[in-house]
Amino acid sequence: MEYSPATEQLLILLVALLFPPVTVLIILILLLATFGRSLGIRRAYVDVLLATFEWASKRIEKSKTKVDIDPDISDIGGEDKVTTSFVNGISNGALTLRKRSSSAKNLIVKDETSIMRRKITSENYSGAKNALSLFGDSLDFMKVGIESIIEDEVTMRFTAEELTSWNLLSRTSYGYQYVSLRLTIIWCLGFIFRYAVLLPFRLIILSVGLTFLVVATAFIGYVPDGEIKRYLNWHISVMCYRVLARAVSVIATFHNRENSAKGGGICVANHTSPIDVLILAQDNCYALVGQKHGGLLGLIQRSLSRASSHIWFDRSELEDRSAVSRKLRSHAEDSTKLPILIFPEGTCINNTSVMMFKKGSFEIGATVYPVAVKYDPRFGDAFWNSSLQTYFQYIIMMMTSWAIVVDVWYLPPMTRLESESAIQFANRVKREIAAAGGLVDLDWDGQLKRYPVKKEMLEKQRENYSKRLQFTSPNGATKD
């Protein structure tokens, strides 16, 4: 493709004008990230986004004074009134466009579900045990079953959380809905800014960060084992991850740093995204656990292993739980090694709940350092839905988000009690993480994303309820 002389001169002029300031800006970003400093520009950027979201919500409220609903429903319920409330600076007025697609946990109020759970699990449930109550139970089971068909508390955790206010990033579940020309222009400008400005900058920072990581860890690999090597590895690793965090504009707030993981312990956290490691590793240095890979990911794994002791498994070893436990225990018993970072859920959950923790990491007897990670989905959804998105698609989605805003809570270290089993200890840690992060505590296995419910779980529910099949006959005799 040939350009005219005038076009070529214009392109050369643009490059000449933009190259120096862009280069200086990238160098400044890298230097600030390396030393963990900030000029406050990112926080101001987030404040501007919040003000823009609030303005957009008000425009939506003004343009849509009622929700579009079916005529039959409108005859019954009348006109919906629009109210405005603000949570952390954001208006929920976009409910006028997203009422039916807002957070699914608000669609059905499941009072009966909690009642049935008490009937099944509680040994001291005070409900009647007669024929009439059994008939009532059957109706309750039918009701709960129908509710679960419409929506259940498990599968909704495997899809992206719906927002009640539009963040000018994604449209509603029903596609494009025109509101006003001004709002459309703002969305178009935001699209251009994210793809023409943020994405190129972030790609450059990502490339520099990965190069820095590979080269720096290769250098550390030549340093003899000892205190100096551990010191260099800790500081250089944290620097590398801070640079990589800027590639997706991470704005992280760490709470209670005095509880951060120490050597010889295990750090466990709820799992939302592959960048969970990036979020945590920019504040502390960890030994990572995972399956061996090839390609670029394998290159990074080998680079990290040259600088420190990480735990990588072959696929065959992952199937051998005893081999995994031996490696974890051997690492945790050495206080000079880095704390192990583990995500016991074993899969990504959409950051609205914490699901069942696998017991393996709680069996080895090491001190556990719980960490709660909570993302703010208004600026970008960090959840990786691996069934719908490839890893490349996910990375592009992250790098074209407004920012990744996250809070991290370090909780006090916990140890297994003498009377506790590994499962009970795992559940206790899970409850603490859920409470700290404001997440729903669920006992279901996250692998239900990929596999059906195990027969053992179904049989356990039936067995629990079968204990209630003892009921009192009309003449007062107890029957089995």
Which comes out higher in pLDDT, residue 189 or 57?
Answer: 189
Contact by Cβ (8 Å): 96, 61 = yes
- CA–CA separation, 314 and 185 (whole Å): 51
Q: Which pLDDT score, from 0 to 100, does residue 120 have?
A: 58
Q: Is the pLDDT of residue 136 over 80?
A: no
- CA–CA separation, 95 and 346 (whole Å): 34
Q: Which pLDDT score, from 0 to 100, does residue 470 have?
A: 54
Q: Is the pLDDT of residue 191 over 70?
A: yes
Q: Please, which residues have CB within 8 angstroms of residue 272's CB and are 6 or more apart in sequence?
A: 348, 349, 350, 351, 373, 375, 382, 383, 384
Q: Which pLDDT score, from 0 to 100, does residue 88 have?
A: 40
Q: What is the average pLDDT value for the chain, to the nearest integer?
A: 76
- CA–CA separation, 155 and 75 (whole Å): 33
Half-sphere exposure at residue 31, Cβ-oriented, CA atoms within 13 angstroms: 7
Share of the chain above pLDDT 90, in %: 18
Q: Which residue has the tokens 């800014």?
A: 193
Q: Domain residue spans in the chain?
A: 181-441
Residue 439 Cα distances to 8, 47, 231, 262, 392, angstroms: 56, 25, 36, 25, 28
Of 28-37, 90-99, 396-405, 471-480, the poorest mean pLDDT is in 90-99
Which comes out higher in pLDDT, residue 2 or 75?
Answer: 2
Of 118-132, 175-189, 306-320, 368-382, the poorest mean pLDDT is in 118-132
Mean pLDDT of 5-14: 76
Taking the model in full, what pTM does it have? 0.75
Q: Which pLDDT score, from 0 to 100, does residue 173 have?
A: 42
User: What one-character-per-residue DSSP string does 282-326 give?
Assistant: TTS--EEEEE---HHHHHHHHHHHHHS--EEE-HHHHT-HHHHHH
Which comes out higher in pLDDT, residue 202 or 140?
Answer: 202
Q: Is the pLDDT of residue 306 over 80?
A: yes
Which comes out higher in pLDDT, residue 300 or 97?
Answer: 300
Mean pLDDT of 406-411: 95
Which comes out higher in pLDDT, residue 223 or 12?
Answer: 223
- CA–CA separation, 213 and 34 (whole Å): 12
Q: Is the pLDDT of residue 258 over 90?
A: yes
Q: What is the pLDDT of residues 149-186, one digit of tens each?
A: 666 667 677 777 767 667 777 544 445 556 678 888 88
Mean pLDDT of 191-215: 90
- Longest alpha-carbon distance in the chain: 104
Of 47-61, 242-256, 398-412, the poorest mean pLDDT is in 47-61
Of 45-59, 126-140, 264-278, 448-462, the poorest mean pLDDT is in 126-140
Of 192-196, 225-229, 444-448, the poorest mean pLDDT is in 444-448
Which comes out higher in pLDDT, residue 228 or 77?
Answer: 228
Mean pLDDT of 130-156: 67
- Select from 252, 250, 286 the least CA-distant residue to 268: 286
Measure CA of the first residue to CA of the last residue in the chain; give whole Å: 86
Confidence bin at 121 (pLDDT 50/70/90): low
Half-sphere exposure at residue 333, Cβ-oriented, CA atoms within 13 angstroms: 7
Q: Is the pLDDT of residue 124 over 90?
A: no
Confidence bin at 276 (pLDDT 50/70/90): very high
Q: Is the pLDDT of residue 6 over 90?
A: no
Using DSSP, state whether 80 is helix, strand or coil: coil
Q: Which pLDDT score, from 0 to 100, does residue 65 have?
A: 57
Q: What is the pLDDT of residues 65-105, one digit of tens each?
A: 544 544 444 444 444 443 334 334 333 433 333 333 334 44
Q: What is the pLDDT of residues 421-433, one digit of tens each?
A: 989 999 999 999 9
Confidence bin at 409 (pLDDT 50/70/90): very high
Q: What is the pLDDT of residues 338-382, one digit of tens each?
A: 899 999 988 888 888 898 898 888 888 889 999 999 998 888 888
Q: Which pLDDT score, from 0 to 100, does residue 406 have?
A: 93
Mean pLDDT of 241-257: 91
Mean pLDDT of 191-203: 91
User: What one-character-per-residue DSSP string does 123-176 give?
Assistant: TT-----BHHHHHHHHHHHHHHHHHHHH--TTGGGGSPPPPSS--SSS-BTTB-
- CA–CA separation, 431 and 316 (whole Å): 32
Share of the chain above pLDDT 70, in %: 71
Q: Please, which residues have CB within 8 angstroms of residue 44's CB and are 6 or more apart in sequence?
A: none
User: What one-character-per-residue DSSP string does 360-385 give?
Assistant: GGGSS---EEEEEEEEETTS------
Q: Which pLDDT score, from 0 to 100, does residue 66 have?
A: 46
- CA–CA separation, 285 and 350 (whole Å): 25
